[in-house]
Amino acid sequence: MILLNPGPVCTSERVRNALMRGDMCHRESEFSTLLSSTRNKILQAFAPNGNYTTTIITGSGTASLEAGVCSSLSEGKKILVINNGVYGDRISRIASAYKFNKVELQYDWCEQPNLEQIEDTVSKDSDIEVVAMVHHETTTGLLNSIHEVGEITDKYDRTFLLDSISGLGGEEINLINDNVDICIGTANKCIQGLPGLSFIVIKQDEINRLRNIPPRSLYLNLIAQLDEQEKKGECPFTPSVHTFYAFEEALGELLEEGVQNRLNRYRKASSYLRDEFKRLSLETLLPDKLLSNTITALYLPKNMTYAHLHDSLKERGFIIYAGQGQLDKKIFRIANMGEISMEDLKSLIKNLQEVLEDSK
């Protein structure tokens, strides 16, 4: 099966084989070596110029997102959530679950957030301590203007928390230049590892501020996770050891390919797909200038249900992805993250064309 969903993605044989490296006790020095190598590779890939550290959490992307959000707001302060999709909404729901004092700016799912309104909101409310948003809204494949929001948080000296779970490894990002303080990622999207591990990259300057925040969770405590990994070379709770093997291998592959080359490969794949979708008269949900390198949301062809399209392609070996929320019945999504060759994509297009013609 070729997975065209935005994670978990198709992985290489090398990554899958890494799972078989053998059983290991997570309290032995061998695990500390593995942990430290994996953390170093994350930093080499996404913060090559220093100033950042990272902590890995056993759990899907949302675990690290929740750890980042629940560990980053001081008592009595507010979080500003910028929401233009299902994942912006998820940040908002996490903030609510912790009963945070929250300001939320909601935008249409097909639009970028309004920068003037964001600056206005931040500048007028000195209680806003953390500004949180999504880098690549996986709901629609929309790329948000993180650099401009980072300029605002830098200007007003606020913490910028970014969900780049579907961005890291797939989209342009420079944590230093984009002024990102806390950045969330996962193993099984553009990094091409296996599901079960996620991570947080944190600016060194943020750490003392985070230390003064009372813990709100035992497991998802960013500082406790970081300290244990940094000082003892261990994870506080049982880590998914075998998934670590695969994650370390996937990061090795990413570094060998080069982060920029990975982006270029995805960009080339998505632009090939988009040209072909146009040829097949499929209409994209978003204008070209808002599109990421890895997801294309398309309107369902007239007189075709998602179930029919999905099932027909699945029979032919391809897994596509449904729309979410308000776009549930209207769109379908094709992601080109993961170990997918141009031959696979050509075969997808051939099969898609046949399915569309059969239903005419």
Ligand X SMILES: *Cc1c(COP(=O)(O)O)cnc(C)c1O
> Which stretch in 22-30, 32-40, 55-63, 227-235 sits in contact with ligand X by CB under 6 A?
55-63
Cβ proximity to ligand X, 138 vs 312, nearer residue = 138
Residues 6+ apart with CB under 8 A from 64: 57, 165, 184, 185, 186, 198, 199, 200
Give φ, ψ of 199 to 5 degrees. Answer: -155, 165
Cβ proximity to ligand X, 188 vs 312, nearer residue = 188
Cβ proximity to ligand X, 61 vs 239, nearer residue = 61
Cβ atoms of 144 and 134 within 8 Å: the answer is yes
User: Comparing C-alpha atoms, which of 219, 133, 139 is closest to residue 178?
Assistant: 133
Least Cβ distance, residue 87 to ligand X (angstroms): 4
User: Comparing C-alpha atoms, which of 290, 281, 296, 306 is closest to residue 336?
Assistant: 296
The H or E element spanning position 158 is: none
Q: With binding defined as CB under 6 A, does residue 247 bind ligand X?
A: no
x/- track of binding to ligand X for residues 14-33 (CB under 6 A) = --------------------
Cβ proximity to ligand X, 3 vs 352, nearer residue = 3
Least Cβ distance, residue 8 to ligand X (angstroms): 8
Q: With binding defined as CB under 6 A, does residue 338 bind ligand X?
A: no
Least Cβ distance, residue 135 to ligand X (angstroms): 7
Q: Compute the distance between CA of residue 166 and CA of residue 171 in angstroms, rounded to an integer.
A: 9
Window 129-188: residues binding ligand X (CB under 6 A): 134, 138, 163, 165-166, 186
What CA–CA distances, in Å, run from 194 to 58, 115, 263, 318?
A: 12, 36, 19, 19
Q: Say whether 273 sits in a helix, a strand or coil.
A: helix
Cβ proximity to ligand X, 89 vs 206, nearer residue = 89
Considering just the CA atoms, what is the radius of gyration of the chain in Å?
20
Least Cβ distance, residue 186 to ligand X (angstroms): 5
Q: With binding defined as CB under 6 A, does residue 293 bind ligand X?
A: no
Q: With binding defined as CB under 6 A, does residue 60 bind ligand X?
A: yes
Cβ atoms of 349 and 276 within 8 Å: the answer is yes
Cβ proximity to ligand X, 31 vs 321, nearer residue = 321
Cβ proximity to ligand X, 15 vs 168, nearer residue = 168
Q: In the set 38, 58, 62, 179, which binds ligand X (CB under 6 A)? A: 62
Q: In the set 52, 87, 107, 199, which binds ligand X (CB under 6 A)? A: 87
The site for ligand X, by CB under 6 A, has a size of 13
Q: With binding defined as CB under 6 A, does residue 92 bind ligand X?
A: no
> Which stretch in 59-67, 111-119, 235-243, 313-321 sits in contact with ligand X by CB under 6 A?
59-67
Cβ proximity to ligand X, 143 vs 152, nearer residue = 143
Cβ proximity to ligand X, 143 vs 254, nearer residue = 143
Helical spans, DSSP H, in 104-228: 115-124, 146-155, 207-211, 222-227
Residues 6+ apart with CB under 8 A from 322: 306, 310, 328, 332, 333
Cβ proximity to ligand X, 201 vs 352, nearer residue = 201
In this structure, which amino acid lies at residue 45? A
Enumerate helices (H) and strands (E) in the chain, giving the number of each. Answer: 12, 14
Cβ atoms of 128 and 95 within 8 Å: the answer is no
Least Cβ distance, residue 278 to ligand X (angstroms): 25
Q: In the set 61, 141, 185, 193, which binds ligand X (CB under 6 A)? A: 61
Least Cβ distance, residue 125 to ligand X (angstroms): 26
The H or E element spanning position 66 is: helix 61-70
Q: In the set 2, 3, 4, 7, which binds ligand X (CB under 6 A)? A: 7
Q: What does the buried/exposed string (b/e) look like for 50-83 if buried means 16 or more CB atoms within 10 Å of the residue's CB?
A: eebbbbbbbbbbbbbbbbbbbbbbeeebbbbbbb
Summarize as ranges the residues that interact with ligand X (CB under 6 A): 6-7, 60-62, 65, 87, 134, 138, 163, 165-166, 186
